[in-house]
Amino acid sequence: MNNSILNKQTISIVRVFILTIIILGLPNNRVYSQIDTFTISNVDTIHIPTPEKYHSPHKATFYSAIIPGMGQAYNKQYWKIPILYAGLGGIIYGISFNTKYYNKYKNAYRDYIIKDPANKSYLEFAYKAGLTEDDINNADWFEQALKNKKDYYKRNRDFSYIGLLAIYVLNLVDASVDAHFYNYDISDDLTLRIEPTLLNFNSPITETQGFGLQLRLQF
């Protein structure tokens, strides 16, 4: 009888002990759960900065070398493209115009010197000047005029080719320079001011002061 009562008391004590351990363990579990949740949340919200895309001057120069104006498009300087092609168009027209008349005067000068009856291309220029064939036969002044015109258009044609090469090179230089300064930060605090100042005039005899103006460049 006493043994059964003791067993029941022992079981009750064990139950109370186990329940106490469970209750005491709950706060710790909650703390660990909160710590785990906080840690996972922080990992999920980490911001990884996106690296800035590199703007390559070599690409800009290479693009302009292949197609003039393509480097300016790469630099987002679109307004320069019409100006570039207007210059190229003018130079190309000058090459075509001067080449055409250089060939005409060259052939006329050659035909006039040879005096081939079957080739009298020089008469075209004589008739435009209101001259007849008799007026220009064996005329040194007409031969010299044809030569001067031939040399004139040849010189203009050569200068046009130099101009075309110059515009092409400038196109490359412009694309490369703009690409180098593409990400360059220019401050808005650059100011130029004119303000009064006190000037010192020193001489061996006396030292005087006066008012003047100074030009100040502020960065």
Cα 146 from Cα 152, distance rounded (Å): 10
pLDDT, tens only, 71-116: 999 999 999 999 999 999 999 999 999 999 999 999 999 999 998 8
Residue 116 inside a domain? The answer is yes
**30-34, 165-169, 173-177, 181-185: which range is least confident on average?**
30-34
Contacts of 51 (CB under 8 A, 6+ apart): none
Residue 143 inside a domain? The answer is yes
CA distances from 120 to 93, 100, 125, 137, 141 (A): 28, 18, 10, 11, 17
Q: What is the pLDDT of residue 159?
A: 97
Best CA proximity match to 57, nearest among 145, 195, 180: 180
Q: What is the pLDDT of residue 183?
A: 77
Q: What are phi and psi of 141, to 5 degrees?
A: -65, -35
CB neighbours (10 Å) of residue 126? 21
Structure tokens belonging to residue 69 = 């104006």
Cα 169 from Cα 163, distance rounded (Å): 10
Q: What are phi and psi of 185, to 5 degrees?
A: -90, 115
Assign 117 a pLDDT band (cuts: 50, 70, 90). Answer: confident
Per the structure, how many domains does the chain have?
1
- The boundaries of the domain holding residue 132 are 57-182
Mean per-residue pLDDT over the chain, rounded:
78
Query: Contact, 182 vs 173, CB < 8 A?
Result: no
pLDDT, tens only, 172-198: 999 999 999 887 755 555 565 666 666
Q: What is the pLDDT of residue 66?
A: 95
Residue 9 inside a domain? The answer is no
Residue 172 inside a domain? The answer is yes
Residue 121 inside a domain? The answer is yes
Structure tokens belonging to residue 79 = 């307004």
Residue 43 has pLDDT above 90, yes or no: no
Q: Which of 8-12, 23-27, 71-75 has the highest mean pLDDT?
A: 71-75
Residue 194 inside a domain? The answer is no
CA 69 from centroid of its chain's CA atoms: 10
Residue 61 inside a domain? The answer is yes
Residue 40 inside a domain? The answer is no
**37-51, 129-143, 172-186: which range is least confident on average?**
37-51
